[in-house]
Amino acid sequence: MKVTPEFIDYREQQLPADTGAVLVPGGFSYGDYLRSGAIARFSPIMEDVKHFADTGKPVIGICNGFQVLTEAGLLPGALRHNMSLDFICKPQPLSVVNNQTLFTDQFEKDQTVMFPIAHGEGNYYCDDETLTELKQNNQIVFIYQDNPNGSTADIAGIVNKQGNVLGMMPHPERASESILGGADGKLLFESLVASVEMAVG
């Protein structure tokens, strides 16, 4: 299957009709001057991204994208300042907790992978009731080894109950070629492409 990425301006009202998946990338939306992602969730395109997700199609939010998805209500919990209050930028080992999602079926369960992290507000927080639901529904996808930011239950990435929306703080796109220092992240995108290909027949 040939995959052709297309950049969509945040001011657009609708996604292209042939969109197979949406990736909300990392960065510093609106300079992170308020709470990270809190303003970006009101971007015009986000209404159609929510509709897209509601139809069961895959959406990924990476780093700031994860923050946007929680602010938009597509994923539970919130991202807070790192426990150290410092910006953290380094390669980070993770464990694959759930390899039965649209995004992770090319991984082995409990596989250790190395993805870079680069965030100041990557400390995932949820209350006890939400954490219990995440565990019961197998929604925790990635956890940190040696938790770098204080995240609840070492959480680095989760999916929604339907399993079609993934949010994660680490950057798989920065670990998708060996020249970048590792290619573990490529498995995530290969999983996604295979899932989309299966969905379209």
* Residues with catalytic function: 63, 171, 173
Half-sphere exposure of 109 (CA within 13 A, CB side): 5
Q: For residue 24, what are the β-bridge partners?
A: 61
Residues 6+ apart with CB under 8 A from 34: none
Which residue blocks in the chain are alpha helix, DSSP H?
45-54, 64-71, 128-136, 186-200
For the chain, where are the E strands, in sequence order? 22-24, 59-62, 78-80, 88-96, 112-119, 123-125, 140-144, 155-159, 165-168
In whole angstroms, what is the distance from residue 87 CA to residue 60 CA?
23
Give the span between the Cα atoms of 192 and 187, in whole angstroms.
Answer: 9
